[in-house]
Amino acid sequence: MTARDNIAPPAGMLAELTHRCPLGCAYCSNPLELEKPASELDTATWKRVFSEAAAAGVLHVHLSGGEPCVRQDIVELTAHCANAGLYSNLITSGVGLSRRLFDALVEARLDHLQLSIQDVEPASADRIAGYDGAFARKTEIARWTVEADLPLTVNAVMHRANIARAARMVEFAIELGARRVEIAHTQYYGWGLVNRTALMPSREDTEIAVAAVEALRKKHAGVIVIDHVVPDYHARYPKACMSGWARRTFNVTPSGKALPCHAAETLTHLDFWNVRERSIGDIWYDSPAFNAYRGLDWMKEPCRSCERREIDFGGCRCQALALTGDAANTDPICEKSPRHGGVAALAEHDAATGAIDYRYRRLNARA
Ligand code: SF4
Ligand code: FES
């Protein structure tokens, strides 16, 4: 029996093909240090990575970014995923996806399309995205997707500017013909953290939104699947971030760094192996960074003896680092954390500012 025998194979991979994007959303999950086009992996390397991922056990690949459709080889990469037996999901803003490219992706056997929606009110949606006309473009892409009989998921990130319309987002996703809608409350790291005072909703608005979405889950059971990523700072317990560190999925950045989550590079004490030099199998099983917080042995109290340790895995390592200075601490979103009171105070303070002036994330298609 080797150490590898105790580690389950990866099920999913998020391929950040590029950090270029026409939109500028202030809650973007990309790092603050966006990777420039010159550092992006080439077509042959991405194809090798997808083949290695499939061989390592990956079933789902999320073709993401930035905006993955700005890659000239997006059709070729999609076809390669199909040939490798991977279920492909294109995570797109919809902006920059022409009819011709859409048809080519369908021809290349794309399996699923996930479209982000910023709001149900066009002017607000365009302001949040930092791009005029984005809302109209997205509506059109949704129509093409449904007409092509391609499964559609609508993703909506909730924050102060749109949380009052959380329930309408669900209804809108149904109108668009989506089979699944993800209502995801903003996660505060990277861009979300620097924009936290402009994004944080009040506890009252958050509770109203959560209750409304949960009510719709019952009402629309069998019509649409509602995934609800619950709000962090107003919660009693943290989310099981990434379903546990290096437990089911991993990310690859545009330049090839393999990460257990999208914010992992904030853990600067870890060394992340690159797919240019290592195979996906070696990275998954042997990378010290992947093994740093895998399983339960790294945990401190109160997580170590907590009955929820195999439910939430102590929450989010990146959030623990950002808010407590140590990634091995209990995520302070947890009410058992000695630092939990400080998080509640932060949330209250930020929500009270009422401002919605964003620091937009910018690295456009021609960067
Ligand atoms: Fe989860 Fe740790 Fe809190 Fe227990 S103490 S609920 S394991 S974060
Ligand atoms: Fe990195 Fe949660 S975002 S572990």
Residues contacting 204, CB < 8 A, separation 6+: none
Please work out whether the CB of residue 193 comes within 6 Å of at least one atom of ligand 2. Answer: no
CB 323 within 8 A of CB 342: yes
Query: Sorting pLDDT into bands at 50, 70 and 90, what band is 367?
Result: very low
Class of residue 367 by CB neighbours under 10 A (exposed 0-12, middle 13-18, buried 19+): middle
Note the pTM of the prediction, 2 decimals.
0.94
Query: Sorting pLDDT into bands at 50, 70 and 90, what band is 298?
Result: very high
Ligand 1 binding pocket mutation candidate from 336, 337, 340, 343 (most atoms within 8 A of CB): 336
Task: Determine the pLDDT at residue 190.
Answer: 87
CB-defined site of ligand 1, < 6 Å: 237-238, 302-303, 306, 308-309, 312, 314-315, 330-331, 334, 336
Report pLDDT digits (tens) over 121-134: 999 999 999 999 99
In this structure, how many other beta carbons lie within 10 angstroms of the beta carbon of residue 157?
24
Ligand 2 binding pocket mutation candidate from 241, 249, 257 (most atoms within 8 A of CB): 241
Mean pLDDT of 238-242: 94
Report pLDDT digits (tens) over 253-272: 999 999 999 999 999 999 99
Tokens 């400080």 belong to 342
CB 115 within 8 A of CB 141: yes
Report pLDDT digits (tens) over 5-44: 889 999 999 999 999 999 999 999 999 999 999 999 999 9
Find the 333 Cα to ligand 2 centroid distance in Å.
13
Ligand 1 binding pocket mutation candidate from 330, 335, 340 (most atoms within 8 A of CB): 330
